[in-house]
Structure 1
């Protein structure tokens, strides 16, 4: 078994050495922690799938330190150049045509496209620069489980399977990047994130298809999060709309075992839940809720007495699409009302 280390900023050289010898290193981004391997080292990339238990047709996002690195493996176009200028470094992943004989089909999931982004983390961009290679970077967790937003989350899932984790504290955004497909005639959102379709349309000056695509069982997804079960703890998760919380709390209080409740600060105060053990605060606003969602799911998943988790939805606006999307996948789109039937 590998002895997994947690490295601080001043130990960056240890992470660089590990990547260069073909090992796996988890790294911080503004969204979630990624599981890094040299994108041009097929053996190292294969280890990513093994460590995560990830399906082999689920493509990996390639992370770059600067725009120039993109030309090493992908075909840029005018749309990409505009979005790179507007949103990089930041939480936007672009699907572009892949250059022949560059990254392997292990990276692309066998497709003729490749996903690429530049993370908004000075530490991770320096890691990529020093290794002199783009890094693949799926979320650094067991495949399908809630994504990691701290180094400790990564260690929990992957200790003994990877060389180490580069620790830079909690992530700021807490949900994965927006993914936009730029390889077709019309730009299309494949996964919602902090960057909204309206923001992208403002930059591109063309309509963006924001209707999320369904991927069939025999179809290869172009981006992570499209096909397989994602973001879900082992416990049962139910979504709770704001108007249903009173009834949900009464139901929870009537159960023999504790029920995990995840609400915003205002909801906690309104329902007089402050200070209760099985309540997880999602914070004061929608941005905080997105940043704290996965951490709350993980907390209750690790609590043996809890078998059910109730989580608040956010208002159905574009800025909350990523939160509601991840929550929907974690809950299998189940609403708390099903428990009252």
Structure 2
């Protein structure tokens, strides 16, 4: 059964964050709130986390995982940015955007796109998620909690607990979130292409 952790959505209790981070470091797969919707998250060095996420969401090896970063400086460690992308992405973050970019050698091969060697990155604008990433000290491997056959991602912690009780290790309930996933912008070819319209205004990258 998944551990259920109720956390304040705007001022998360440090003890709850620290306990969750300790479990992440032990390889746990968590469900946690973001500024768009709930997501699945794990430490980057968890060797089975990506496979567990793929099984829950019925994903193939072409799926782009997202590295949720604490700040813009951390993004630069994991993806390759030119000056134009740097300025545009910095202006849009933190916020409900995911950017697909070429991965650096610091991204484990199993987490990058199988053929393109690209990965998604974002800086989340949610107190609970931001506290998690800061306490973890490295990006959180993440994927939208959108279940097979569902049109919208999951937005309620207790419902997630009931539905995924035996598939995740921790449900971090920070209250209800928005109902849209992030807007995804593919910048891997040197220019922005909006490949999914979501919570972030796509017009700034049109």
Paired residue for 2:135?
A: 130
Deviation (angstroms), 1:23? 1.0
Paired residue for 1:162?
A: 168
Pick 1 or 2: higher relative contact order, CA cutoff 8 A, min separation 6: 2
Paired residue for 2:3?
A: 5
1:45 alignment partner, one of 45, 50, 62? 50
Q: Distance in 2 between matches of 1:95 and 1:58?
A: 11
Would you say the 8 A contact 1:28–1:167 is kept in 2?
yes
Bigger helix share: 1
Deviation (angstroms), 1:141? 4.4
Q: Deviations 1:300-333 (Å, cap 9, x if unpaired)? A: xxxxxxxxxxxxxxxxxxxxxxxxxxxxxxxxxx
Paired residue for 1:77?
A: 82
2:125 alignment partner, one of 120, 129, 132? 120
**1:183 corresponds to 2:188:** yes
Q: Distance in 2 between matches of 1:170 and 1:102?
A: 31
Paired residue for 1:54?
A: 59
Bigger strand share: 2
Deviation (angstroms), 1:71? 2.4
Q: Deviations 1:244-295 (Å, cap 9, x if unpaired)? A: xxxxxxxxxxxxxxxxxxxxxxxxxxxxxxxxxxxxxxxxxxxxxxxxxxxx
Across the aligned residues of Structure 1 and Structure 2, the Cα RMSD in angstroms comes to 1.9
Q: Distance in 2 between matches of 1:42 and 1:111?
A: 21
1:152 alignment partner, one of 143, 153, 158? 158
**CA 1:39–1:108: 2 relative to 1, 3 Å:** farther
Would you say the 8 A contact 2:111–2:119 is kept in 1?
no
> 1:76 aligns to what SS in structure 2?
coil
**CA 1:198–1:98: 2 relative to 1, 3 Å:** same
Paired residue for 2:10?
A: none
Q: Distance in 1 between matches of 2:112 and 2:189?
A: 20
Q: Distance in 2 between matches of 1:87 and 1:20?
A: 30
Q: Deviations 1:96-153 (Å, cap 9, x if unpaired)? A: 1111252223443442211111111121111112112211221224334231011123
Q: TM-score, length-normalised on structure 2? A: 0.86
Give unpaired runs (5+ residues) of structure 1: 201-207, 209-341
Q: TM-score, length-normalised on structure 1? A: 0.54
**CA 1:110–1:102: 2 relative to 1, 3 Å:** same
Q: Distance in 2 between matches of 1:41 and 1:99?
A: 19
Would you say the 8 A contact 2:183–2:202 is kept in 1?
no
> 1:35 aligns to what SS in structure 2?
strand
Q: Distance in 1 between matches of 2:202 and 2:146?
A: 28
Query: After superposition, where does 1:195-214 map in structure 2 within 5 Å?
Result: 195-200=200-205, 208=206
> 1:138 aligns to what SS in structure 2?
strand
Once the two structures are overlaid, the 10-residue window that deviates more, 86-95 or 48-57, is 48-57
**CA 1:110–1:19: 2 relative to 1, 3 Å:** farther
Q: Distance in 1 between matches of 2:149 and 2:84?
A: 31
